[in-house]
Amino acid sequence: MQQRLWIERTFEHGIPAAHLPEIIERLRGTPARIEDRLRGIPAELLTDAARGGWSIQTHVGHLIDLEPLWFQRYEELVNNVKTLTAADMSNKRTNEAEHDKRRLQDVLTEFRFSRMRFVAALENLADGDLEKTSHHPRLNTAMRLSDLAFFAAEHDDHHLATITHILRSLDSA
């Protein structure tokens, strides 16, 4: 089964604010899903990037690297900033971070901590913030906080699916 590239994804926007509690639960659950998925996998397999792409551990590190963007966009939406900060599509931060040189447990702990900060912010939204919009520069559309949360959850699942694909390719090798 071929996975689409993230950059090729399109997204429906206008996710109803009433869906936000379920989306927050997806976001809250990502660290546990990753920890469960990687439990028992030898470190040398987690950090193997021999296939030419990122290693499994670098994919997890990438999720850490994106947490400041999600939080920044959250603050921009709450503060009525006209256009959201653009993502660095070159992934410079991830490519320079050397996540594979760290202990997996440290990477997982940092992701959990960073994600819970974002989740807490979403859970403490004022009702008046739910309908605020800002322009998403790459998607060229208005985005609300429910859309941002959905976008982040989809990004998580994209990388979890990629990790699963890598693990399957290792099993068949």
Query: How high is the pLDDT of residue 172?
Result: 67
73, part of any domain: yes
10, part of any domain: no
Query: How high is the pLDDT of residue 13?
Result: 79
d(CA 158, CA 7): 11
Q: Token pair 């959250």 is at which residue?
A: 74
| Number of folded domains that form the chain | 1
Residues of the chain under the 70 pLDDT cut: 1, 7, 50, 172-173
Query: How high is the pLDDT of residue 94?
Result: 97
121, part of any domain: yes
Query: How high is the pLDDT of residue 107?
Result: 97
- Contacts with 60 (C-beta within 8 Å, 6 or more apart), sequence order: 34, 38, 99, 104, 107, 108, 111, 159, 163
30, part of any domain: yes
* Amino acid, single-letter form, for residue 130: L
CATH label of the domain that carries residue 131: 1.20.120.450
The residue range of the domain holding 46 is 17-172
61, part of any domain: yes
9, part of any domain: no
Query: Which residues face 134 on adjacent strands?
Result: 143
Give the residue among 20, 14, 15, 3 at the shortest CA–CA distance from 125.
20
3, part of any domain: no
5, part of any domain: no
CB burial of 10-41 (b: ≥16 within 10 Å; e: otherwise) equals eeebebebeebeebbebbbebbeebbeebeee
